[in-house]
Chain A
Amino acid sequence: MAVAQQNALLGPPSQSSRTLLRVVILLFIAGAAIASRLFSVIRFESIIHEFDPWFNFRATKYLVANGFYKFWDWFDDRTWHPLGRVTGGTLYPGLMVTSGVIYHILQALTIPIDIRNICVLLAPAFSGLTAFAAYLLTNEMTTSPSAGLLAAAFMGIAPGYISRSVAGSYDNEAIAIFLLVFTFYLWIKALKLGSMLWGALCALFYGYMVASWGGYAFITCILPLHAFVLICMGRYSRRLYVSYTTWYALGTLASMQIPFVGFLPVKTSEHMPALGIFGFLQLVGFIDYVRSAISGRQFQAFLITVLVATFGIGLAGLVALTSLGYIAPWGGRFYSLWDTGYAKVHIPIIASVSEHQPTAWPAFFFDLNILVWLLPAGIWLLYKELRDEHVFVITYALCGSYFAGVMVRLMLTLTPIVCVAAAIAASKLLDTYLVKSPSQTSTSEAGEKKAPKSADKTASPLGVSSMVSKLTIVGAMIVYLLMFVSHCTWVTSNAYSSPSVVLASRMPDGSQHIIDDYREAYQWLRQNTKEDAKIMSWWDYGYQIGGMADRPTLVDNNTWNNTHIATVGKAMSSREEVSYPIMRQHEVDYVLIVFGGLLGYSGDDINKFLWMVRIAEGIWPEEVKERDFFTARGEYRVDDGATDTMKNSLMYKMSYHNYQSMFPPGKAADRVRGVQLPSEGPVLNTIEEAYTTENWIIRIYKVKDLDNVGRDHFSAAAFDRGQKKKATKKRGPRVLRVD
């Protein structure tokens, strides 16, 4: 940055040196964006994070090992036992294919790099590209040369985007946000020029986006909405016709190439707005043509009848098709976008995911900081000009804000447009107050202003020569920007860089202590169990078990079969007598649970337990009842006051089995729930403890085989316990006899 600044200071820059400056600044921004995402690698190690990335990683390894066609036809029999999963046809392959291509290119260049490192560093690399895309998009909005650079800088470090793109979070969003912003840029470009080629490029990147992330529906809805708003504002132009129809015709075909999407674009309601606007544009185009041919009253009558008739037929057709079942009604996730309580009532599995919860207010400030209050200013500035592309920003910002308020994870889609609008506002402010003197030509000012602003450094020597107000405003703005930078750095390093596979804690002396129970447990599974030992766990851990332990699982994070998940939920929440047959039927060898009671790790299975109960209750309302897990006073307790249903549930027993032995008698405590546990621990009959990790975070139980003399497990276990007692009694007399 300092270099760039010096360049700017050397003299009045020419056109070419300004271009050079811009490139250098963009490179620095990309560097900063990548660097700030490497906290997780520095703090921990080069490791894949969280849950979904483990599946992506596993799929990528499969792709690299077996080639593209095998990957495309991949049937995975090691997940969703005994159903299996047609993985090749039910994933978005964009991410894996991208890293596979990068891997092969690097191999061809004889750079031997591990596929894991490519996966870990893919998201930061693409964040640099995202910053560049934001630069391009902003430059389409405004003539101010600094706005684009500011937008790139914002985009590079905004926590709302970093949250999903730190090194190691190898998820679809890692590349999808870049594609989202770039698709929008191409759309604006196509709309401005009215060019088929740009429309086709937009469609191609849209196709790439569809291949990468389910969030492509956002583009599918925003572009038609933009077109519709433009038409309603009387801004229909032939450019709009050309760009939209080209995009839609090519983009829809492109999206249908992905097996997972397939016929959805013509069958589901989410895609109908795009189709409707496509048809509507044909109509408007025709009317536009007719208007040039005939005029006056004739045209008016013509217009009204055509419009009314078409709308009537179109609407009736859509309703009829939907009610006859040809077009699928809106999916559950979309309903939950309108009614935040919907998912909780109807689809517990969606509601149980924390990132589907409504956003809390502080989250906006946490993720966007000053951009939050720059956004309205930017929108207002755009509203004053209100060209076609500004309408796009405004539409996008409004929809994006709403959706970000409804669902936490959609903050991600809001962030790009907030960066763009905020950059426009900030650059306008700085442009206004940084002008050296009104008489100077605007071009040379522009060159001088760029560098300091985007660098967020002290810009005062340049613009403050005369007025106090300039100094105040620019100074304040720079302080805000610096605060933003430090906030972003702080948030990134503290909140978003944890792999959550490896946990960190502080020792009393301030040094860092790594808690590595997850990998310890998965490594144990990998080394001590049969190759095809089926592991039952709650679906959260399915991908990790598949990725790290390489063992078949019953359910995983691809929650495509609610019944199967409910089966696991039922097994976990029922009595042993009920659970054991279920586990036998599903050939379960081991049960894996997460227990944070000893360490105070709050994301454990007892805290998730109610969701298991709810999901199971959704399928078997007679056998599993959420109410039974609450005390008469409506409390969810695990101590002495817990209900019998709770105490007898398999999950409770597995969590607290033998736990009392860690403590002096009567002192057993659960540090997550902060309660004293009963002195008598639960007794397990049908399963036995196989392994417990160092901090008790993961506990693995082995499902007992059938008793070899045909007893049921309860009498067998009782006999075993009784045997010992009898043995001691027998020993008594024997001792006497010897004496």
Chain B
Amino acid sequence: MAGKKNARSEPAAAPATTATSTPSAKAPLTPTKNPIPIPTPAQPKAVAAQGGWAQVFQNLYDYYLSETPQRTKLLDVFLLFLVLVGALQFLYCILAGNYPFNAFLSGFCGTVGQFVLTISLRIQTTEANKADFPKVSPERAFADYVVCSLILHFFCVNFIN
């Protein structure tokens, strides 16, 4: 419901709603402490009372802890940081107005962009996904990541006014 309210009050809410579901989407550490997945699953939980949710999250959490390498966990911390920064910016935009809209957009888009790039890096460096990316070695993935981040930040700085 919180997402809905945001959506009404701000123009950038559409990216925001997706972005708020984004963190839950890809940052697999969210189940434990991240407040964001709650809006989506919480509703049906209240309505349907399916009971299995706790179990689901427990499973996810266990899976995450057991299957994720240390390096990837570092990436996930960065992802969490990006989510927090994005949420903070969005909150500011709602509370204090979006007046320098350029600045808000470039900040927010930069956060979201960096987030998806990091996710991409995470996907490409995960062992289990090797089959999907026959031509992308982890080193290549990291090089791509650096180049894309540079481009992203060039645009952001240029747009910030």
CA distance A252 to B156 in the complex (A): 11
- Give Cα distance in the complex from A207 to B147, angstroms: 16
B84 partner residues in chain A, CB cutoff 8 A: none
Interface residues of A (CB under 8 A from B): 193-197, 199-200, 203-204, 237-239, 241-242, 245-246, 248-250, 252-254, 256-257, 263, 266-267, 272, 275-276, 278-280, 282-283, 285-287, 289-290, 292-294, 298, 301-302, 305-306, 308-310, 313-314, 316-318, 320-321, 324, 326-327
Can you pick out 23 interface pairs between chain A and chain B where the beta carbons lie within 8 Å of each other?
A195-B144, A196-B144, A197-B143, A245-B117, A249-B113, A253-B106, A253-B155, A254-B155, A256-B159, A257-B158, A263-B101, A267-B11, A279-B22, A289-B28, A294-B63, A301-B52, A305-B40, A305-B44, A313-B3, A313-B39, A314-B17, A316-B7, A317-B13
Closest 4 CB pairs of A and B: A279-B18, A286-B25, A317-B7, A249-B113
A310 CB to closest chain B CB (Å) equals 6
Interface string of B1-31 (1 = CB under 8 A from A): 0011001101111110111011011101000
Chain B's interface size range is 35 or more
With a cutoff of 8 Å between Cβ atoms, the chain B residues found around residue A283 in the complex are 18, 21, 25
Bound CA–CA A200/B3 (angstroms) = 30
B91 at the interface (CB under 8 A from A): no
B residues near A263, Cβ cutoff 8 Å = 101, 105
A-B CB contacts (within 8 Å), total count? 195
A326 and B132 contact, Cβ closer than 8 Å, known pairs A196-B141, A197-B147, A253-B152: no
- Chain A nearest CB from B145 CB (Å) reads 6
Assuming the A-B contacts A196-B120, A309-B44, are A250 and B14 also in contact, with contact meaning beta carbons closer than 8 angstroms in the complex? no
**B106: chain A residues within 8 A (beta carbon):** 253
B123 touches A250 (CB 8 A): no
Smallest beta-carbon distance B93→chain A, Å: 12
Please tell me if the beta carbons of B41 and A275 are within 8 angstroms of each other in the complex: no
Chain B residues with CB below 8 A from A254, complex form: 155
Give the chain B neighbours of A238 by CB distance below 8 A: 123, 129, 132-133
A318 with B14: CB separation less than 8 A: yes
The contact of B11 among A204, A237, A293, A327, by CB within 8 Å, is A327
Judge whether B8 and A282 touch: CB under 8 Å: no
Chain B residues 24-71 with CB under 8 Å of chain A are 24-26, 28, 39-41, 43-44, 48, 50, 52, 55-56, 59-60, 63-64, 67
> Are the C-beta atoms of A195 and B135 separated by less than 8 Å?
yes
B109 within 8 A of A: yes
Q: Per-position contact with A for B128-141: 1 when CB-CB < 8 Å, else 0?
A: 11001101100011
What is B's interface to A at a CB cutoff of 8 Å? 3-4, 7-8, 10-15, 17-19, 21-22, 24-26, 28, 39-41, 43-44, 48, 50, 52, 55-56, 59-60, 63-64, 67, 101, 105-106, 109-110, 112-113, 116-117, 119-121, 123-124, 128-129, 132-133, 135-136, 140-141, 143-145, 147-148, 151-152, 155-156, 158-159
Given the complex, which residues of B lie within 8 Å of A318, measured CB to CB? 14
Give Cα A245–Cα B25 distance, bound, in whole angstroms: 13
Q: Out of B4, B119, B124, B133, name the residue touching A245 (CB < 8 Å).
A: B119
Check B120–A246 contact: CB distance below 8 A. yes
The residues of B that contact A250 with a CB separation of less than 8 Å are: 113, 148, 151-152, 155
Residues from chain A with a CB closer than 8 A to the CB of B110 are 253
Are B17 and A196 in contact, with the CB atoms below 8 A? no
Known: A282-B26, A298-B52. A266 touches B117 (CB 8 A): no
Asked if A195 and B136 sit within 8 Å, CB to CB, the answer is yes
Residues of A within 8 A of B8 (CB): 317, 320-321, 324
A305 closest partner in B (C-beta): B44
B135 to chain A, nearest CB (A): 5
Contacts of B145 in A (CB 8 A): 196
Partner of A253, one of B24, B67, B144, B159: B159
**Complex-state Cα separation, A310 to B7, whole angstroms:** 13
Residues of A near B152 (CB, < 8 A) are 249-250, 253
B156 to chain A: closest CB distance in Å? 7
Minimum distance in angstroms from B115 CB to a CB of chain A: 8
Chain A positions within 8 Å of B13 at CB level:
317, 321, 326
Assess whether B148 is in contact with A246, with CB atoms less than 8 Å apart.
yes
